[in-house]
Structure 1
């Protein structure tokens, strides 16, 4: 199982790094257009559309990469104090209630939009139109990779609930150093365990 989880991590990482090269294309394109517009007085109407598509492709495909690296923004200041099983329970609930419905809808709708765009050979609206349908296919691609990575994260939550510890990643990313934060506020692991027990009792009463 661990080999499969890491294999999906590597796939998400590869996709993210591959599309990260679009930033080089963006840099060269913008530099050339600035020179052409202000030095040669020859602006190009299609460049703005190309910039938007390149940036959009990079932005969408970065989702699975960031999830694989555990780098999405969340309330680490509180979350990091919880025991691994409590963290896994919170993550699993959020994945099932919010992540899965949203990403499934994104992938499904994105595939429909891409097919419709291809059927009519959709183009941008300017004097020098660009084909839009290749970019539309990035939407279901990004959604599918993100959905696959999300299923891996759900599997990690289940493993953590069963074993009491998070399975290892190739690269763990932690925005907040929880151990140092515990020392600063003088919090011990026993205090966190007592807080978890109190929360569990309150949930039982409600």
Structure 2
């Protein structure tokens, strides 16, 4: 469990840091639109910065999304099974889909990023930026996803062995109905 906690902490910290990239992307987008429509001027570099920031948010926060159990799944089907069966389905998915796909992408992503860094690849757009920082996000993001997958496997095995409560890996976010009830409760005047 120490390894799992360390991986979770790493991805939590990265997600917190990269959340600022989303704010930066919004500010760059707004400033770019304002300048483009006010002064009829723009730069491909500003558009590419937006793409890079969005890529950073997506690639580096995806492992945190897995940690929070916010990834896409078919809850309508899986929700009908017992918690133990759901955990077995998760383990099956992690071993059969998540880890192999992430390993394949990491295997091909490392040379992809390395070649971009080695050649100091530049954007083909006029006024574009260097490309390698965005390409490095691919292997880094998938390496973090592999680590988080390992952490999730550890937690589910610990649960199956009776040494961990399911709250360590089950989504803690309120359901839509709970949110509606909370809003109704907050708006009641007693």
TM over 0.5: yes
Q: TM-score range by the shorter chain?
A: 0.7 to 0.9
Query: What does 1:34-113 correspond to in 2, within 5 Å?
Result: 34-113=33-112
1:5 aligned residue: 4
Report the 3-state secondary structure (helix = DSSP H, G, I; strand = E; otherwise coil) of the residue aligned with 1:30: helix
Distance 1:39 1:157 in 2: 54
Matches within 5 A, 1:1-206: 1=1, 3-163=2-162, 166-169=165-168, 172-174=171-173, 176=175
Distance across 1 between alignment mates of 2:46 and 2:154: 43
Distance 1:116 1:47 in 2: 24
Distance change >3 Å, CA 71–CA 82, structure 1 → 2: same
Asked whether the equivalents of residues 71 and 173 of structure 1 are also in contact (C-alpha less than 8 Å), the reply is no
Structure 1 pair 160–168 and aligned structure 2 pair: CA distance change class (3 A): same
Change (3 A) 1:176 1:27: closer
Contact 2:152 2:169 in 1 (8 A): no
Structure 2 unaligned residues grouped into runs of 5+: 177-190
Larger Rg: 1
TM superposition shift of 1:41? 2.0
How many pairs align? Answer: 176
State the 1:23 CA deviation. 1.4
**Contact 2:155–2:169 (CA under 8 A) maintained in structure 1:** no
Q: Deviation per CA, 1:24-79, whole angstroms, max 9, x where unpaired? A: 21122112212221212221122222211111111111210101111112222332
RMSD, aligned α-carbons: 2.2
For structure 1, the residue ranges without an aligned partner over 5 or more in a row are: 178-206
Instruction: Give the TM-score taking structure 2 as reference length.
Output: 0.83
Equivalent residues of 1:85, 1:164 under 8 A apart: no
- Assess if the C-alpha contact under 8 Å between 2:62 and 2:145 holds in 1: yes
